[in-house]
Structure 1
Amino acid sequence: MLYPSVDKLKTQINSKYSLVALASKRARELYEKEEEMLGEYTSAKPVGKALEEIAAGVLKQEQQDESAIYEDEI
């Protein structure tokens, strides 16, 4: 059984694509810096920890400014 469940994660972020993008970026940060947002995790791996942070509501997706031009769009 996957923890946290996809249904619980979808209550925090409505798009599976956005969920995967956010979790992968956060997992990379956890792998490189190991700065954890929660006191205790069920998962030992960075991706699982990132998903737990999203499910707990401490990691949220930022709203992008529609008029801004981001570095990856150039």
Structure 2
Amino acid sequence: MMLEPSIDALQGKIKSKYTLVTLSARRAREMRHAKNCQVENPKSEKYVGMALEEILAEKLFVKE
């Protein structure tokens, strides 16, 4: 079973796996309460998956 989006594609956007996990978890908690996904028609039904899709679509990022 392949998860979408792939970790390789995500690490092209955010290098650190730790940062990737932390950012997506925080965003998932935010979406759970606010119910506002920045990606139209997300493939994932779960909030963490939606947050990862936002990262891949460059709607969610980390300032360095």
The TM-score, its normalising length taken from structure 2, stands at 0.93
* Deviation for aligned residue 1:62: 2.6
Q: Secondary structure at the match of 2:49?
A: helix
| Aligned structure 1 segments of 4 or more residues deviating by more than 2 angstroms | none
Instruction: Return 5+ residue gaps in structure 1 as ranges.
Output: 64-74
Q: Percent same amino acid among aligned pairs?
A: 44
Select the structure of larger CA radius of gyration. 1
Where does structure 2 lack aligned partners over 5 or more consecutive residues?
none
Q: CA RMSD in A?
A: 0.7
**How many residues of Structure 1 are paired with residues of Structure 2 in the alignment?**
63
1:56 and 2:52 are equivalent in the alignment:
no
Residue 17 of structure 2 is matched in structure 1 by 16
